[in-house]
Chain A
Amino acid sequence: MGEGAVKRAAFPYLLLSPAFLFVVTLAFFPIAYSFWLSLHRIVFVLPHLGESFIGLENFARLLQDTRAWQALKFTLLFVGTTTLSELFLGLLLALALHQPIFGRGLIRAIILIPWAIPTVVSSQMWRFLFNDQYGFLNLLFFGNHPELYRAFLAEPISAMVAVMAVDIWKTTPFCALILLAGLQTIPQELYEAAKVDGAGRWRQFVHITLPMLRPTIVLALLFRTLDAFRVFDSIYVMTQGGPADATLVLQFYGYKKMFAEGLLGYGAAISVVIFLFSLVVSIFYLRLIFLKK
């Protein structure tokens, strides 16, 4: 092999190397490091204990950790409820916004507002709206009967509903935006042909819109599911996981273990669990997108 040939063969790798380095340092290395940490007992505030390798003990403890189980259950409930609701409502919104209505551009922009407000700010706003003394929601429901006013964030069930409702309020516009983009790629001719064949609006929707929108729907689901698994800021601001750990999510639990309590190994084990869940979900969705083709 001549020198030129070697150079030619190496050239593509050279071009790929910046991207490769980027992925390795920013994605693979932190993930691998989290795995490594999760196999150790590291208690930041007790340096005399050292950093002993304990194998899978953190995971074994995690299996017996009732708060972790509770967090997992609520996280799954949260992910399921919010993603499906956001997808459904987002689809309705997208279909409405796809119609040639007056002021469409402006409405599309306005609808995005909840999504554009930083979560910390909007969660704080909702915390006030849910308040039992001056909260607007109480005024809305009970009007001039302050003795009936309820503390929505004080009861486990209503607090769970509240944090999910806030997420749905906030992220439905995002789903709508993605689905709207999907709707716009569907060629108009298909609908015209369907009309010629005498198909009504419903049949057009079921047989053209939905199948054509499938990859976009899966994409939106993928984005939303991964994002919902990482929910943190709204919980942090609104409930801190309470009352009675009812709104505790895995990500917030891991954060508490790692940062507030300084249990690096245990916190990393929780991150690894979140990562594995996300990985499985991603593979499942990606297969849904690519299998058909």
Chain B
Amino acid sequence: MTRKAGILTLTIFLFTVTLVPVKAQTTLTFVTWKPSEPQLWDEIIARFESHYPDIKIRREIGPHSSTQFHDLLTQKLKNRDPEIDIFFMDVVWPAEFASAGWALSLDSFFSQEERQKFLSGAIAPNTYKGHIYGLPLFIDVGLLYYRRDLLEKYGFSVPRTWQELVSQAEFILKQEKDHQLTLKGYSGQFKQYEGLVCNMLEFIKSHGGAILLLNDGRALDAVRFVRDEIIGKIAPRGVLYYEEPESLALFIQGNAIFHRNWPYAWREFSDPTKSRIAGKVGIAPLPHFPGERSASTLGGWQLGISKFSRHPQGAWKFIDFVGSPEIQKLIALKIGKAPTRKELYQVPEILTQNPQFKVKQAFFGADPRPITPVYSLISHVLQSYFSQVISDPKSDIRTLADRATEEMRYYLSWEREQ
């Protein structure tokens, strides 16, 4: 008798235990990098969950570095992990994720009409073979930051061309030598990593060249200019291993006249507790070569849905919510990330907080890196080529460029192969 009762109790208990989760909410897993501003993301997710009480967001935090985040995320997707619903994509990944069959097409969720409200430059890299795979949440563009105080002191206006930038820097360095031995002319990101491609793209594009045609005269001259005039004259050799933080540190300590960085940097300079140059910094579009136009590399992060997700509807609700004007505005105001919705560039509140967004041509006309599923292969060829050319003052640019161009052509041919 007691045994029967025991079995009965156990059955009832098991029943209740298995029933409870069925009644509860859906939990969506969101793969994100380690944010520098965790409170903001706590707030966004809390807002979403109070708006949609039947959905819970579980965050899976990956590394902060884009390359390492890519390795982690693609590993999970290669394993067809059904636990993943939503993920961040760097601007160069959607084509790859679409081609590999990892990202779900968002065509039925993200209407053409809605896409019109976004910067076209931000939508393009999310589109592959006519379908859309990601919603751009914020964009990055390359900007020129300069020491307004030093330029004013010597009566210079903001440099329009790279040549002007170099000659201004050389002049100022000569004059300031007695006060400040540690002052350098230019600080950017030239380590052998993805950031190097972004920096070099700006030089090549602003000389009318193309990054996939490295052995064309325009691209060759731009690369030679970086080697001989930027690295060879006004930048410290240290830039050859600088990523964003190191290059920013040089500028923020008051040790560089010109600095190339993304929009986030503005907040860092303006914070007097971190910066020795608060109030002395100006912002401008990056220079170009004579007769050409300025170019800014497009960066930024998109939200996508895994093809293996069991809850694509719920996942879209989250993406739609995070990409809404309200949340994008919140992000812009709190941490100064540039929105992807055009209307937000009219909001005075956002612009006073983020004067860097006023460099409209950079945000509205940013240049994407090649949109192809084999981008990571292309990028490694480019990184290797650029690093070899600029770190050796006697490098044989022509031969190296021929070889790199040929290798990229080979990889790109796979995409067309049947």
Q: Is A133 an interface residue (CB 8 A)?
A: yes
Specify which of A133, A155, A240, A261 is in contact with B192 (CB 8 Å cutoff). Answer: A240
Known contacts: A46-B99, A46-B374. The answer to whether A240 contacts B181 by CB under 8 A is no
What are the residues of chain B within 8 A of A239 when measuring CB–CB? 192, 241
Q: Which A residue's beta carbon lies closest to that of B102?
A: A45
Contact for A262 among B101, B193, B376, CB less than 8 A: B376
CA distance A244 to B255 in the complex (A): 26
Tell me the smallest distance from the CB of A276 to a CB of chain B, in Å: 24
Minimum CB–CB distance for B62 against chain A, Å = 14
Number of B residues near A (Cβ < 8 Å) is 42
Within the complex, the shortest CB–CB distance from B127 to chain A, in Å, comes to 17
Within 8 A of A (CB), among B151-200: 181-182, 191-193
Interface: B23 (CB within 8 A): no
Shortest Cβ gap from B311 to chain A (Å) = 24
A49 touches B193 (CB 8 A): no
**Pair A242/B241 contact, Cβ less than 8 Å:** yes
B387 with A244: CB separation less than 8 A: yes
B124 at interface (Cβ–Cβ under 8 A)? no
CA distance in complex: A151, B380 (Å)? 23
Interface contact A156-B391, CB-CB below 8 Å: yes
Whole-angstrom distance from the CB of B108 to the nearest CB of chain A? 23
B387 in complex: contacting residue of A153, A242, A259, A262, CB < 8 Å? A242
Cβ–Cβ contact A45 & B374, under 8 A: yes
Interchain CB contact under 8 A, A146 and B181 = yes
Query: Contacts A131-B246, A133-B246, A260-B376 hold; do A147 and B181 have CB atoms under 8 A apart?
Result: yes
Q: A195 CA to B414 CA in the complex, in Å?
A: 74
A239 CA to B246 CA in the complex, in Å? 14
- Taken together as a complex, chains A and B put the C-alpha atoms of A261 and B239 apart, in Å, by 26
Residues of B within 8 A of A67 (CB): 384
Q: Which of B100, B191, B241, B391 contacts A45 (CB 8 A)?
A: B100
Interface check A265, CB cutoff 8 A = no
**Chain A binding surface, main DSSP class:** loop
* Number of chain A residues close to chain B: CB under 8 A: 35
Dominant SS among interface residues on chain B: helix
State whether B376 touches A242 (Cβ < 8 A). no
* Interface segment out of the listed B24-32, B40-48, B66-74: B66-74
When distances are taken between beta carbons in the complex, the residues of chain A under 8 Å from B75 are 259
CB distance from A244 to the nearest CB of B (A): 4
Q: Which of A207-225 contact B (CB under 8 A)?
A: none
Task: Please tell me if the beta carbons of A153 and B96 are within 8 angstroms of each other in the complex.
Answer: no
Q: Cβ of A46 and Cβ of B182 under 8 Å apart?
A: no
Residues of B close to A134: CB separation below 8 A: 249
Known: A156-B391, A239-B241. A262 touches B100 (CB 8 A): yes
Question: A256 vs B379: C-alpha distance in the bound complex, in angstroms?
Answer: 11
Closest to A245 in B: B384
Whether A244 pairs with B192 at a CB distance below 8 angstroms is: yes
Q: Quick check: A260 and B418 within 8 Å, CB to CB?
A: no
A48 at the interface (CB under 8 A from B): yes
Instruction: Give chain B nearest CB distance to A160 CB in angstroms.
Output: 12
A263 in the interface, Cβ–Cβ < 8 Å? yes
Most buried by A among B191, B192, B380, B418: B192
Minimum CB–CB distance from B30 to chain A (whole Å) comes to 23
- Which residues from B are CB-within-8-Å of A245? 192, 384, 387-388
Within 8 A of B (CB), among A41-74: 43-49, 66-67
A241 within 8 Å of B (CB atoms): yes
Give B397-418 interface residues, CB cut-off 8 Å to A: 403, 414-415, 417-418
The reply to whether A151 and B391 contact each other, CB–CB distance below 8 Å, is no
Cβ proximity bits A257-272 to B, threshold 8 Å, 1 near / 0 not? 0011111000000000
Note all chain A residues with C-beta closer than 8 A to B394: none
Q: Is A182 an interface residue (CB 8 A)?
A: no
**A260/B71 in contact, CB under 8 A:** yes
Q: Smallest distance from the beta carbon of A72 to chain B beta carbons, Å?
A: 15
15 contacts between A and B (CB under 8 A): A43-B374, A47-B99, A47-B101, A49-B414, A133-B253, A134-B249, A147-B182, A154-B238, A242-B240, A243-B240, A243-B391, A244-B387, A259-B75, A260-B380, A262-B376
Which B positions have Cβ atoms within 8 angstroms of A? 67, 70-71, 74-75, 78, 96, 99-101, 181-182, 191-193, 236-241, 246, 249-250, 253, 255, 373-374, 376-377, 380, 383-384, 387-388, 391-392, 403, 414-415, 417-418
Binding site for B on A (CB under 8 A): 43-49, 66-67, 131-134, 146-147, 150-151, 153-156, 159, 239-245, 256, 259-263
The 3 A-B pairs with the shortest beta carbon distances in the complex, nearest first, are A242-B192, A151-B238, A154-B240
